[in-house]
Structure 1
């Protein structure tokens, strides 16, 4: 059993079902409906690179219901049961979520089992799913903030599923045929790779019985854990200047996104990571962050600037955006503000405000039994200690002013390894050259290449 802490008061029990599948469960008497999750520990990491388009296509196709029922019949059946069924595919797994009142949960679970065993994988539905997926992808290609993040992930952590995020090229979406999709579905929904979970008002033993009678009835395959993933490795820069540049071409763009990236080697749920969280709250946390104060309020270069530390991919980021002539100054001055922050003296007042902001956010995200349950699922996905998150507030409280300043100067005192910019190359190339980056060292990508 996972222990209880000051927040996230519900205990999450961990046990095994009759076939050896992990079973996470928590009781929450508040909401009227029960949530049952099926976690297929597969995901896009187990598909060929050109097949990750299956993720978005299958998410759309699962909305149509199982073979033998029209979409209208499927939706009506769920409506009468006051139930919902959703599916999402990620780099590390597939999540099937069934929500229903206790009185209709068994029927809803049976429908979800039909949906997995007999999905409506037919040509006309595939074409509709492709159109929807392509439309969503084209919308993403117009979002430069999204593109700079995606470019950073793809380029800095090549091939790692935590960076790839199941986002595919439009050409891959168009090229994925029905037979390949059926094969991918079989890989993604292997019965032997299922873990289960539940949270809601029902007794845990009662939900276990229903899962055994419905979802395990379709297959008695013994549970097999997949191979553990190696952590993502940060690509080392090749530029003699120490900062590699990636330019995302957005012809005729009126705005420009700027993303600086520094690598780190910190492990989540450690004292050093807690110190880094406070540092980056001071540097880039909302309107009180140093980047926002300097770049927006004092210098008028942007409407927004922020910094953050990633706990899944080993990187710090500093990001902003600007149009016209302001982008030249922004590219030079964002790292200058970062460097000045590293050198400055921190105040007890600002540190206290940063700690309070982190604790408030933490309380809001961990106060319900469902929160504890989701964190236990997250820990399973990423191979983390399921109890470690409970000590975060204590780790923040233990950070001292001298320890914070020592950390900032020792761990954050370096040039950024990468600069990712998005915008019109006719504007950005001269700006980058003026900033000292040689044209031949700038890697230019189009949105279609991501």
Structure 2
């Protein structure tokens, strides 16, 4: 999606102070909207983050890509402004708006100077409550999406993710790209986009984070004015999915000199009691740069790849534990063998005391660096709410990391690492890799 970022706003973001400790105010508006706020008046600037739960997973059957296309049109004209007039107005206010969509949420970010607050919010309100969906804009943005869909089909990194998702999630919306297919996007009508808009942007699923020069009382008034005219309820959320994999390999033939692989199986939900221990465990296995075991064994010792990593993926309706690696076609099989071996060894033996202390030192030291601007703070506040974390989480998180023990890691490893279910999807022409799909 297009972003409007004025140089002055960017300078304000970069100049924002680093926050090691955060005071969060919980705000409830007279209209019943809840928000979290970090109030900071040292700079006359406000960042506002809106998150509507559901996202592309709300696409109706046969309408894949509708939410993505709809979100792309929110900045393409509103009220009495066409796309050009909307962009020019945002630029004149030194305001920044961005609109994006993921599997589980529609995300809307706004950043503006306090002196332009009223006009900036009026512009955003028009985009949210009076989108035009002009046919010429629909045709233009649709053409951009179709071009991207075609390009993706030539990208092995995209294809491997698409294939893994299709294998795991099937007909669930998670099982196909949020952009849709060329056929599904081409068939979308303006009525489809209106239905996606009304189903996704509703007050019963909105989460709000704000940071900057605004008081709780001012924020409450702003939000009721901004969001008060949205529908009260939207489409039902998508169903949950049970992830089932086996210790196999699926090969997608593709004529490239280097194969790319995604590997993984079921993960842990964000609210699982062992999630924190699994998070630290993953830092040691594949999330910690050059000190991680996978990087050490696959890259440093054997030179099989430039990079390999693993990561927890707690979606709203399913949880995965995934990793990714790429290697020359004649070496990918060896890289996969090493990954399987490290997966098994950590599942059986856990980690060393030295590895645990190193990971905890890094994670606790790096955490305050995330709070390096109002925009990022507002984004973190929204994420905390969607994950149902307590309001004091930012000030207790490092204590939780520091409290993780070897016993915690051992328990989490036995649960989250499943060598018997570790499945690889490979796109390329891998030598020595057999697949039932071939």
| Range of TM-score over shorter length | 0.7 to 0.9
Farther-moved stretch of structure 1 (151-160 vs 302-311):
151-160
From the superposition, tell whether residues 343 and 117 of structure 1 become closer, same or farther in structure 2 (CA, over 3 Å): closer
> Match for residue 352 of structure 1?
357
Question: Are 1:378 and 2:383 an aligned pair?
Answer: yes
Q: How does 1:12-411 map to 2 (within 5 A)?
A: 12-158=24-170, 166-190=178-202, 194-213=206-225, 215-216=227-228, 218=229, 223-224=232-233, 231-234=240-243, 236-237=244-245, 242-250=246-254, 252-264=255-267, 266-268=268-270, 272-284=274-286, 285-312=288-315, 313-343=318-348, 346-366=351-371, 371-388=376-393, 390-401=395-406, 403-405=408-410, 407-408=412-413
Deviations 1:104-151 (A, max 9, x none): 111122222222333231222212111111222334334333432343
Residue 48 (structure 1) shift = 0.5
TM-score when normalising by structure 2: 0.82
Deviations 1:67-100 (A, max 9, x none): 5334333222222222222222333333333322
> Match for residue 448 of structure 1?
none
Residue 245 (structure 1) shift = 3.3
Alignment RMSD (CA, Å) = 3.2
Farther-moved stretch of structure 1 (387-396 vs 93-102):
387-396
Residues of 1 paired with 2:362 and 2:175: CA distance?
A: 28
Deviations 1:401-427 (A, max 9, x none): 45534643565363234221112xxx3
Residues of 2 paired with 1:199 and 1:93: CA distance?
A: 20
Residues of 1 paired with 2:138 and 2:66: CA distance?
A: 10
Q: Which is greater in Rg? A: 1
How many pairs are equivalent?
417
Residue 201 (structure 1) shift = 0.7
Farther-moved stretch of structure 1 (83-92 vs 34-43):
34-43
Would you say the 8 A contact 2:343–2:419 is kept in 1? no
Residues of 2 paired with 1:81 and 1:186: CA distance?
A: 28
Aligned with 2:132: secondary structure? coil
Deviations 1:33-83 (A, max 9, x none): 222344444533333043231233233323322253343332222222222
Would you say the 8 A contact 1:37–1:97 is kept in 2? yes
Deviations 1:222-257 (A, max 9, x none): x558867665421x24xxxx424333343x122111
Aligned with 2:62: secondary structure? helix
Aligned with 2:23: secondary structure? coil
From the superposition, tell whether residues 154 and 364 of structure 1 become closer, same or farther in structure 2 (CA, over 3 Å): farther
From the superposition, tell whether residues 17 and 409 of structure 1 become closer, same or farther in structure 2 (CA, over 3 Å): closer
Structure 2: tracts of 5 or more residues without a match? 1-18
